[in-house]
């Protein structure tokens, strides 16, 4: 017992002070891209043609963050002249069309005030569905329950039964085998309910885009309220989206 107390005193309080205090991420983290719309068109085309996700629209010089897997190839190819990734992890949006971005995203809070704050402001229970994800999205969601992020202190928890949930949080590219499970889990959640598409896979198919083995984007099956881009989304991206949308 003495050892446990000693250990606690030595370790101190490890929970992040975010969002009360800003937090810095490791310098290699790729967040919201800075896009130079004056960049030479040939360079933009090179990036668009090379993008493994077909996420760059060369005409409008925008990136679809719902497709992007943040591999950094476009930044390397353009030497940062077209795209440079910032460390801004605040990427969640309420409207999918906003993910096609020229370097900025709308505030989530404004949308949320009109929709969900009154309903779920004090407590939000979510049922996680892994619809054939590679397990990175799932692992980085799980991390939110560790002492550093301590999601429960905000009144947000993941629960075992959809009947105890206010909504579902879906990761993975929705394989054909998981289609029925996603729909029946969604239907088992009592209304009013929310649907969160987390990660490039559930938003757009991600690296599995175009495969016959997947059903398609989550919003082709059920209505989606919140989109959280990334491959996988950083836990802070998810935390920011949840806090700004529901709390």
Q: Does 136 bind ligand SF4 (CB under 6 A)?
A: yes
The DSSP letter of residue 208 is G
Of these, 8, 15, 72, 190, which contacts ligand SF4 (CB under 6 A)?
A: 72
**Sites for ligand SF4 among residues 170-189 (CB under 6 A):** 171-172
Q: Does 207 bind ligand SF4 (CB under 6 A)?
A: yes
Q: What is each CA distance from 214 to 97, 145, 208, 209, in whole angstroms?
A: 22, 29, 7, 8
Rounded to a whole number of angstroms, the minimum distance from the CB of residue 65 to ligand SF4 is 8
Please say whether the dihedral angle defined by the alpha carbons of residues 149, 150, 152 and 158, taken in this order, is positive or negative: positive
In sequence order, the 6+-apart residues with CB closer than 8 A to the CB of 22 are: none
Q: Does 39 bind ligand SF4 (CB under 6 A)?
A: no
CA nearest neighbour of 128 among 118, 117, 120, 139:
139
Q: Does 133 bind ligand SF4 (CB under 6 A)?
A: yes
Query: CA torsion, points 66, 88, 56, 28, in degrees to nearest 10?
Result: -110
Of these, 32, 44, 63, 108, which contacts ligand SF4 (CB under 6 A)?
A: 63
Size of the site for ligand SF4 (CB under 6 A): 26
Of these, 39, 46, 73, 143, which contacts ligand SF4 (CB under 6 A)?
A: 73
Rounded to a whole number of angstroms, the minimum distance from the CB of residue 33 to ligand SF4 is 8
Whole-angstrom distance, CA of residue 70 vs CA of residue 116: 30
Q: Does 231 bind ligand SF4 (CB under 6 A)?
A: yes
Rounded to a whole number of angstroms, the minimum distance from the CB of residue 234 to ligand SF4 is 11
Rounded to a whole number of angstroms, the minimum distance from the CB of residue 171 to ligand SF4 is 5
The DSSP letter of residue 196 is E
The DSSP letter of residue 218 is G
Element (H, E) at 194: strand 194-198
Question: 126 - beta bridge partners?
Answer: 158, 167
Q: Does 204 bind ligand SF4 (CB under 6 A)?
A: no
DSSP letters spanning 81-119: SSEEE-S-----BSSGGGGEESS----HHHHHHHHTHHH
Of these, 201, 224, 226, 241, which contacts ligand SF4 (CB under 6 A)?
A: 201
Q: CB nearer to ligand SF4: give 136 or 222.
A: 136
Which window, 13-21, 51-59, 143-151, 158-166, contacts ligand SF4 (CB under 6 A)? 51-59
Q: Which residues in this chain contact ligand SF4 in the complex, by CB under 6 A?
A: 51-53, 55-56, 63, 68-74, 133-134, 136-137, 171-172, 199-201, 206-207, 231-232
């Amino acid at each position: 017992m003495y050892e446990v107390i000693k250990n606690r005193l030595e370790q101190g309080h490890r929970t992040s002070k975010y969002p009360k205090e800003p937090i810095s991420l490791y310098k290699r983290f790729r967040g919201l891209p800075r896009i130079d719309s004056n960049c030479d068109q040939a360079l933009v085309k090179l990036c668009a043609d090379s993008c493994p996700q077909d996420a760059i629209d060369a005409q409008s010089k925008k990136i679809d963050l719902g497709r992007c897997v943040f591999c950094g190839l476009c930044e390397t190819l353009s030497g940062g002249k077209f795209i440079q990734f910032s460390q801004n992890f605040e990427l969640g949006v309420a409207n999918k069309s906003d993910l096609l971005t020229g370097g900025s995203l709308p505030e989530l809070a404004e949308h949320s005030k009109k929709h969900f704050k009154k309903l779920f402001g004090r407590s939000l229970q979510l049922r996680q569905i892994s619809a054939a994800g590679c397990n990175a999205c799932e692992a980085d969601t799980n991390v939110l329950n560790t002492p550093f992020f301590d999601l429960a202190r905000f009144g947000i928890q993941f629960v075992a039964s959809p009947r105890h949930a206010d909504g579902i949080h879906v990761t993975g590219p929705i394989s054909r085998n998981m289609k029925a499970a996603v729909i029946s889990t969604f239907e088992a959640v009592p209304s009013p309910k929310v649907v969160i598409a987390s990660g490039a896979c559930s938003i757009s198919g991600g690296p599995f885009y175009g495969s016959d083995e997947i059903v398609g984007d989550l919003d082709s099956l059920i209505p989606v309220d919140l989109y959280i881009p990334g491959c996988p989304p950083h836990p802070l991206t998810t935390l920011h989206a949840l806090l700004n949308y529901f709390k």
